[in-house]
């Protein structure tokens, strides 16, 4: 009896010591276990500054109460494979997030075993459909950073997958929260002009890469309902003029060279509102966390689809030498038979 008691005491002591050793050797795993159930965030893609900005905000020792205790616990670093401006960031960004108790995993499958929700941050929109479907199949909510895809057809497929797996998704640029937007009453907006960088990336349609920022701003204040666009472009500048069904006109100006900035002017029945400057990532992150918590999406699929149709129609107008192109014709072409 005495020997049995001593043996049990030794076992308990050794087990406790083993646990201390495990936690000492693997602090990241211990940190992940300390995050409340349902609050574990995973990141796909460490090839964009958005990833490190989100980790810094969520994993800060004194993180905002608005983030509801959500923490990034794991990341799959592979993002863009052939966009040099993105791929070269991966090593440094990987080391940066590791310092904030983020475990680095070898695959999306491994990531999904360790997290409850996902930030799909891969900079390359061409990969988003394949990556998003893996997350949706696993039954997890996923925010898809801009661009939601590198084609209008992939955009449509992502939302079809969202329906199939009954997981709402949304995508947005942080420029939806540019300063001044909070003053806009969409009910009295009669038109708007917005601007942003529109630097080109050969792997993506022209406006899908940088121009999307200013187009998101335009849609944030104008809402849906654009029927046709025409595009004027030079070596340095893009101008897209959209006409809405109710007769309102919204324009986007994108710059490719020189000093870039973000902003615009909203024309309302009560006067004009100036947009800008850029307000940072945290307002968007609050939207994302609320979506993770409730499933409520701040940007509808219909608006995102129209926004990408607008940009694809602008490309078609360019191909036709500045001709007027209807969004309906472009959307019809992108839909699969």
Q: In the prediction, which pLDDT does 222 show?
A: 98
Separation of alpha carbons 43 and 111, rounded Å:
8
Domain check: are 157 and 193 in the same one? no
CATH code, 327: 3.30.360.10
pLDDT tens sequence across 93-116: 999 999 999 999 999 999 999 999
Q: Is residue 258 scored above 50 in pLDDT?
A: yes
Separation of alpha carbons 62 and 56, rounded Å:
11
Domain range enclosing 63: 2-164
Q: In the prediction, which pLDDT does 4 show?
A: 47
- What proportion of the chain, given as a percentage, has pLDDT over 90? 87
Q: Is residue 1 scored above 80 in pLDDT?
A: no
pLDDT tens sequence across 31-73: 555 899 999 999 999 999 999 999 999 999 999 999 999 999 9
CATH code, 67: 3.40.50.720
Separation of alpha carbons 60 and 37, rounded Å:
19
Alpha carbon dihedral 84, 86, 92, 97, in 10-degree steps, equals -160
Listed in sequence order, the DSSP H helices in 59-127 are 84-87, 90-98, 108-114
Domain check: are 98 and 187 in the same one? no
Separation of alpha carbons 217 and 222, rounded Å:
9
Half-sphere exposure of 26 (CA within 13 A, CB side): 11
Domain check: are 65 and 127 in the same one? yes
Average per-residue pLDDT for the chain: 92
* Local confidence band at 337 (pLDDT 50, 70, 90 cut-offs): confident
* Residue that terminates a domain, selected from 138, 164, 190: 164
* Residue that terminates a domain, selected from 164, 189, 210: 164
List C-alpha distances in Å: 244 to 14, 21, 178, 196, 298. Answer: 72, 64, 22, 21, 22
Quick one: angle between helices 152-164 and 301-319, nearest 10?
160
Separation of alpha carbons 95 and 55, rounded Å:
12
Q: Is residue 8 scored above 60 in pLDDT?
A: no
Q: In the prediction, which pLDDT does 32 show?
A: 57
What's the pTM? 0.89
Q: Is residue 170 part of a domain?
A: no
Domain check: are 95 and 195 in the same one? no
- What proportion of the chain, given as a percentage, has pLDDT over 70? 90
Mean pLDDT of 162-172: 98
At residue 155, the 3 state secondary structure works out as: helix
List C-alpha distances in Å: 323 to 101, 192, 307. Answer: 53, 21, 19
Q: Is residue 132 scored above 50 in pLDDT?
A: yes
Domain count across the chain: 2
Domain check: are 144 and 290 in the same one? no
Domain check: are 192 and 148 in the same one? no
Q: Is residue 244 scored above 80 in pLDDT?
A: yes
Q: Is residue 307 part of a domain?
A: yes
* Local confidence band at 16 (pLDDT 50, 70, 90 cut-offs): very low
Lowest mean pLDDT among 2-6, 187-191, 299-303, 319-323: 2-6
Q: Is residue 169 part of a domain?
A: no
Q: Is residue 19 scored above 60 in pLDDT?
A: no
Q: Is residue 304 part of a domain?
A: yes
Q: In the prediction, which pLDDT does 175 show?
A: 97
Domain check: are 212 and 88 in the same one? no
Domain check: are 149 and 179 in the same one? no
Q: Is residue 7 scored above 60 in pLDDT?
A: no
Q: In the prediction, which pLDDT does 239 show?
A: 98
Q: Is residue 318 scored above 50 in pLDDT?
A: yes
* Residue that terminates a domain, selected from 131, 164, 197: 164
Domain check: are 275 and 325 in the same one? yes
Domain check: are 184 and 158 in the same one? no
Mean pLDDT of 143-148: 98
pLDDT tens sequence across 179-230: 999 999 999 999 999 999 999 999 999 999 999 999 999 999 999 999 999 9
Domain check: are 43 and 143 in the same one? yes
Domain check: are 248 and 144 in the same one? no
Mean pLDDT of 113-131: 97
Q: Is residue 44 part of a domain?
A: yes
At residue 239, the 3 state secondary structure works out as: strand
């Amino acid at each position: 009896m005495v020997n049995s008691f001593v043996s049990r005491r030794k076992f308990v002591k050794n087990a406790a010591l083993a646990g201390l050793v495990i936690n000492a050797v693997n602090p990241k795993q211990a940190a992940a276990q300390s995050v409340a159930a349902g609050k574990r965030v995973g990141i796909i893609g460490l090839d964009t500054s958005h990833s490190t900005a989100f980790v810094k905000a969520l994993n800060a020792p004194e993180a905002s109460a608005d983030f509801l205790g959500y923490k990034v616990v794991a990341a799959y670093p592979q993002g863009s494979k052939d966009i040099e401006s993105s791929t070269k960031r991966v090593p440094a960004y990987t080391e940066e997030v590791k310092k904030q108790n983020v475990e680095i995993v070898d695959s999306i499958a491994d990531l999904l075993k360790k997290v409850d929700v996902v930030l799909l941050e891969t900079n390359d929109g061409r990969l988003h459909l394949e990556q998003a479907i893996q997350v949706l199949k696993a039954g997890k909510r996923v925010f898809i950073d801009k661009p939601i895809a590198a084609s209008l057809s992939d955009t449509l497929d992502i939302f079809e997958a969202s329906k199939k797996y009954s997981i709402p998704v949304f995508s947005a640029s942080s420029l939806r929260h540019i300063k001044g937007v909070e003053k806009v009453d969409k009910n009295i907006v009669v038109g708007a002009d917005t601007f942003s960088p529109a630097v080109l990336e050969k792997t993506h349609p022209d406006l899908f890469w940088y121009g999307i920022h200013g187009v998101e701003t335009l849609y944030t204040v104008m809402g849906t309902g654009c029927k046709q666009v025409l595009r004027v472009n030079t070596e340095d500048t893009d101008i897209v003029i959209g006409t809405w069904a109710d007769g309102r006109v919204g324009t986007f100006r994108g710059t490719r060279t020189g000093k870039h900035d973000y902003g615009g002017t909203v024309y309302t029945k009560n006067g004009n509102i100036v947009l800008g400057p850029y307000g940072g990532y945290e307002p968007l992150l609050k939207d994302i966390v609320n979506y993770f918590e409730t499933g409520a999406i701040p940007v509808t699929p219909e608006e995102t689809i129209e926004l990408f149709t607008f940009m694809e129609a602008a490309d078609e107008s360019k191909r036709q030498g500045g001709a007027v192109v209807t969004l309906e014709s472009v959307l019809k072409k992108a839909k699969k038979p």
